[in-house]
Amino acid sequence: MDASAVIIALGLLIFSAYLFNGLFSYTRIPNVLLLLLAGILFGPVTGWVEPADFGQVGPIFTSITLVLILFESGTKLQLSEVARSMGSATLLTVFHFLVTAAVAGGIAYGLAHVPPIGAAFFGCIVGGTSSAIVIPIVNQLGMDARGGAILLLESALSDVLCLVTGLSLLSAMEEGVFHLGPVLLGILRSFLIALVAGIVLGLIWSVVIKWIRRMQTPLFSNLAMVLLLYGAVEKLGFNGGIAVLGFGITLGNAHLLGKTSMGKWFASQELLLGEREFFAELAFIIQTYFFVYVGIHMQFAGWTPYLTALLIVVLILVMRPFIVRMLVRGKMPLKDLDTMAFMAPKGLVPAILASLPLQRGLAQGKPIQDLTYAMIFISILVCTLLIAFVQRHPFSVAGLKRKAKEEESKEVKW
């Protein structure tokens, strides 16, 4: 494909994304699915674009997409909402991860005949929800602040779980030995150090940015700082996504310090509004290309991985509503509870980790990669269609209607 055709395609994709957003009010289908299908059309179906065409730019592009989505979402979260949602989000993350890892790993071992450690690796890398997929859907649906915060935090926390457990099990696949203690310590260390780094730098930057604004418009200086933070934290071996989310939440809530004696040092909320709008538009454009990019990378090696993935996704979505019913606390509409019950798409983290066993020459690498790509596609397809349905027709699942009615009369404190 020549350069002029690529430029035309990039322009058409942006117009298509705005069109899909307009159609959303009628179809309730998030544009994530439509852009993913466009990528499949451009890549696997027609062969117009090959994954190899992206070269080394592809992985960098996916990281930048994740950085922008997490930062932009973090700046919109209110600190009080984060505090109220963290308990439910943490429990939901852990229980959903354990259930999904057990179901996916068990089926990979029993039906796909993946060896035990390889099956455990597969189960763990698909055990979470994808922040790169969840956050744009939540934003487009316009969910209640509490429900949206829980899903955002769940997706960010589960990225840490999937990365640390996945990399630990990858080492076990190579060495034949697995130690649980270092894995748990690695999860805790990766989360806490990254979060502290993001919060501390967010406080420092909220002071610095106030002085930068007096000299020039600092829109791209924010972007530069976010990229530096993500890269530095990742380079040190911790989770850059959590650091960026913590940075965004801190920067978005730094104006609250205006009520203290240190208030004169920190940027006001009003000064951040223009920057939020800029990042929202930038994130919208980048994630448009990202979902098409994911579609281009889909692999269709046969029906078996997709049928196996469909079975796994169905079992997960049968159990997730009960987990939501049991663990989520707080007042929210039935429509949001239904959405939360079916929000389990896979995305960036499993796509990256699934390629590692094959790159390292492990025998089970090919079936793990095929099954993971099938899981990504099937989970996004099924989850977005179910969410589109419940947006129009909220219904009782796992007692969620009863829960919603109970919460109408009282707010449950976690």
Instruction: Identify whether the C-beta of residue 306 lies closer than 8 Å to the C-beta of residue 374.
Output: yes
Instruction: Identify whether the C-beta of residue 108 lies closer than 8 Å to the C-beta of residue 122.
Output: yes
Among 36-45, 161-170, 241-250, 374-383, name the one with the lowest average pLDDT.
Answer: 161-170
Q: What's residue 400's pLDDT? A: 60
Q: Does domain 25-409 fall into CATH 1.20.1530.20?
A: yes
Mean pLDDT value across the chain: 84
Q: What's residue 264's pLDDT? A: 63
Instruction: Identify whether the C-beta of residue 195 lies closer than 8 Å to the C-beta of residue 246.
Output: yes
Mean pLDDT (whole number) for 376-382: 93
The amino acid sitting at 360 is R
Provide the b/e sequence for 236-275 (b: ≥16 CB within 10 Å).
Answer: eebbbbbbbbbbbbbbbbbbebeeeeeeebbbeeeebeeb
Any idea what DSSP says for residue 278? Answer: H
Which token pair is 395? 């219904």
Q: How confident is the model at residue 409 (pLDDT cuts 50, 70, 90)?
A: very low
Q: How confident is the model at residue 412 (pLDDT cuts 50, 70, 90)?
A: very low
Mean pLDDT (whole number) for 41-70: 86
- How many whole angstroms separate alpha carbon 369 and alpha carbon 391? 33
| pLDDT over threshold 50, residue 410 | no
Mean pLDDT (whole number) for 93-114: 95
Mean pLDDT (whole number) for 40-55: 87
pLDDT in tens, 181-204: 777 788 888 889 999 999 999 988
User: Positive or negative, the Cα torsion across 51, 54, 60, 61?
Assistant: negative
Q: What's residue 259's pLDDT? A: 65
Q: What's residue 299's pLDDT? A: 79
- How many whole angstroms separate alpha carbon 249 and alpha carbon 155? 15
